[in-house]
Amino acid sequence: MVSRCNHSLLWSCGRRHLLRSSTPAQVLPPMPFSPERTKEIQSRIDARLRSGQANDWEVSFLTNMAERFQRYGTETRLSKAQYASLHKVLKLEREKPAQTRSAADDGTSQPAPKRSSRAVQARPRPISVTRAITAPRRAVRKAQRQIMVPLVIAVAFFALVGSLFESSNLRSTPYSPSALPTSQTANTAYVYVTGTRVNQRAGPSTSNAVMGVLSEGTRVEKLRDEGQWTQIRSNLGTGWMSSGFLSSAAPPAERPASQDRSLRASDIRIIDGDTIDVRGMTANVRLVGFNAPETWRPSCTAERQVGERATERLDQLVRGAASIEFERVACSCRPGTEGTDQCNFGRFCGSLFVDGRDVGSTLIAEGLAVPYRCGRASCPSRPQPWCR
């Protein structure tokens, strides 16, 4: 079956097919997918989708690949572009060809034939008078090239290293108000960045180049205002920032992400019925105490339908909440593995309370989730009552 890019579904065809939407993709014979290789690819696709770190294109591509392997198994057919993209996204190691594996397993591989030791005698080339005269000149030019080329490369290398070292010193030297004269610091006005991550630009317009990004709570020196922009001086140098992201009031001290804290609805992004993304945390959070139906690669149609309802319901609870509290808890994994792929697909663990009630208990009461309790270092098999 030859796959073609449909103009109404260009987003699902992959980057390399966007410019060839009317050309049929070259399809290879059935890939030599062994049962072990097939299981490995399916497992890695599932882990990548569950991690929540895939971009929109990867989610679409991996979902399509998962459906193909689920349907055809070891007889799955892929184009060269699809096979290369799958290797790149999943970081797969190249599998040995079937003939090489079978020969290695049977011990029947034959050594390469020895090349004949008989040397081929080259016919001598006659030397002309002109060639004999110009030979010294060619030898001199050859020697110059052998000396100058390495010399030029060495000079360019040291010049590049020197420029990188100088630029790193400039970047690593933070702006310090204490370095200014006392008379200047006495009249200096300071403001604080109020946005989570705000661009500092070279001029008072979004069309100007971005000098860097400043995080929330960063104190900068205010120089002057121009319309809706403010000229500031920070560790990035002198630049401009939108006045709406600056405040003269110092931000309150923040508690670490590992402790309980109050959140706003805008701080939370719903991934599925039991997984969220919390602003300020480096990984997604798996909510504990309950298990919601899967929306990625569900075991049956009913599970997918209930999973979508659970996701929508969790989003409604968060958006309509008067108060939201988040509590970070330790994951039920082996010591030292939390935060890695060996523990909960690299996700953190926590509990989310909406108006004083755990969202898990609400979803369980409405039939959109089931209780799920883990031990200290491991979790039982996930219950799937939706496919019975």
pLDDT digit string, tens, across residues 325-355: 999 988 988 888 887 888 888 899 999 999 9
pLDDT at residue 91, rounded to an integer = 78
Per-residue pLDDT reduced to its tens digit, 175-209 = 444 444 444 445 678 999 887 678 999 999 888 99
**Which strands make up the sheet holding 237-242, listed edge to edge?**
210-215, 197-201, 237-242, 229-234, 219-226, 189-193, 246-247
Query: What six digits make up the tokens of 33?
Result: 């997918």
Q: Does 127 have pLDDT greater than 60?
A: yes
In percent, the amount of the chain with pLDDT more than 70 equals 74
Distance CA 168, CA 151 (A): 26
Buried b (16+ CB within 10 A) or exposed e, 158-168: eeeeeeeeeee
The candidate with the shortest Cα–Cα distance to 25, out of 86, 83, 85, 79, is: 79
8 Å CB contact between 370 and 310: no
Per-residue pLDDT reduced to its tens digit, 348-364 = 999 999 999 999 999 99
Distance CA 87, CA 320 (A): 43
Q: Does 23 have pLDDT greater than 80?
A: no
Distance CA 309, CA 273 (A): 8
CA atoms within 13 A on the CB side of 252: 3
Distance CA 205, CA 240 (A): 8
Query: What does DSSP assign to residue 295?
Result: S
pLDDT at residue 96, rounded to an integer = 57
Among 182-191, 255-264, 317-326, the range with the most confident prediction by mean pLDDT is 317-326
Number of Cβ within 10 Å of residue 62's Cβ equals: 22
pLDDT at residue 33, rounded to an integer = 75
Output phi, psi for 220, to 5 deg.
Answer: -130, 160
β pairing state of 285-287 and 348-354: parallel
Number of Cβ within 10 Å of residue 361's Cβ equals: 14
Number of Cβ within 10 Å of residue 190's Cβ equals: 14
pLDDT at residue 125, rounded to an integer = 64
Beta bridge mates, 268 = 278
Domains defined for the chain, CATH in brackets: 7-97 (no CATH), 179-247 (2.30.30.40), 261-387 (2.40.50.90)
CA 110 centroid distance within chain: 44
Per-residue pLDDT reduced to its tens digit, 78-124 = 888 888 888 888 877 766 555 444 444 554 445 555 555 455 555 66
8 Å CB contact between 224 and 231: yes
Q: Does 26 have pLDDT greater than 50?
A: no
8 Å CB contact between 374 and 288: yes
Average pLDDT, the chain: 77
Query: What six digits make up the tokens of 228?
Result: 């809706």
Looking up tokens 């579904």 gives: 9
Q: Does 15 have pLDDT greater than 80?
A: no
pLDDT at residue 305, rounded to an integer = 92
Burial class (CB in 10 A: 0-12, 13-18, 19+), 340: exposed
Q: Would the pTM of this model clear 0.75, i.e. be above it?
A: no
8 Å CB contact between 195 and 216: yes
Per-residue pLDDT reduced to its tens digit, 144-186 = 888 888 888 988 888 888 777 655 554 444 444 444 444 444 5
Query: Which are the contacts of 215, defined by CB distance < 8 A and separation ≥ 6?
Result: 193, 196, 197
β pairing state of 189-193 and 219-226: antiparallel
pLDDT at residue 172, rounded to an integer = 44
Helix, strand or coil, per DSSP, at residue 239: strand
